[in-house]
Structure 1
Amino acid sequence: MGKSKSKSFEHAPVIGVTADAEDGGGYSALPWYALRRNYADAVAEAGGVPLILPHRPDLAVHYLDLIDGLLVTGGAFDVDPALFGAETRHDSVVLKEGRTDFEMAILRGALDRDLPVLGICGGQQLLAVALGGTLIQHIPDEVPNALAHEQPNPRTEPGHTVTIRADTLLGRITGQTTAAVNSAHHQAVKSVSARVTVNAWTDDGVIEGIEDPLRPFCLGVQWHPEYAIDPADTAIFRAFVAAAGR
Structure 2
Amino acid sequence: MKTKDSSYGDITLSQAVKLLAYIDDKDLFAEFHRKKLARRLLFDRSANDDHERSMLTKLKQQFGWQVTWKMEGMVTDMTLAREIQSSFQEYLKSNRQENPGIDVSVTVLTTGFWPRYKSHDLDLPSELIPKPSPERIAFEFNSEFTEKMKRIKIPPPPVDERRKVIQDVDKDREHAIDAAIIRIMKSRKVVVNQQLVVECMEHLKHVFKPDIKAIKKRIEALITREYLERDQKNPSIFRYLA
TM-score, scaled to structure 1: 0.28
Larger Rg: 2
TM-score, scaled to structure 2: 0.29
Higher strand share: 1
Higher helix share: 2
